[in-house]
């Protein structure tokens, strides 16, 4: 389990819909019988195949949760630490990520970095007055 996975806690915090699973698997919802959220993966019971495992990293909720973590960082140090966790997780589990995930999170990280730097400059400017 990586630092990012422990931080997000997908089995406890994610509410995964059948629609979201069907979208990831690119199948009709009617083929999904039941969804079980396990410690590290989601297990999907299907009428056509039996069972199938899906990584939490494949879900849109993972991307949204990572983006939310980035946006909630209060300073540059927190943002850097989070980026290290994101980069390590992505490097270790790159095959489990959607191709658009990394650029999406990177763009949000850059915007948050700029926001924090601008806020810091304003604070420094106000103190100098």
The count of structural domains within the chain is 1
**Mean pLDDT, range 99-126, rounded to an integer:** 89
Whether the model pTM is above 0.95: no
Domain span including residue 98: 3-128
pLDDT at 123 over 80: no
pLDDT at 129: 62
Percent of the chain with pLDDT over 70: 96
In terms of phi and psi (left: phi > 0; alpha: psi -120 to 50; beta: otherwise), the region of 50 is left
CA distances from 75 to 17, 24, 54 (A): 34, 34, 34
* pLDDT tens string 5-31: 999 999 999 999 999 999 999 999 999
């Amino acid at each position: 389990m990586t630092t990012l996975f422990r931080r997000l806690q997908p089995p406890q915090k994610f509410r995964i819909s059948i629609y979201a699973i069907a979208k990831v698997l690119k199948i009709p919802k009617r083929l999904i019988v039941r969804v079980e959220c396990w410690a590290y993966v989601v297990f999907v019971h299907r009428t056509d195949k039996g069972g199938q495992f899906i990584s939490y990293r494949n879900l849109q909720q993972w991307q949204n949760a990572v983006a939310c973590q980035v946006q909630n960082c209060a300073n540059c140090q927190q943002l850097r630490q989070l980026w290290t966790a994101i980069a390590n997780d992505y490097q270790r589990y790159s095959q489990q990520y959607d191709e658009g995930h990394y650029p999406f999170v990177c763009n949000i990280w850059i915007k948050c970095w700029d926001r924090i730097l601008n806020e810091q400059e304003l604070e420094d400017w106000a103190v100098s007055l």
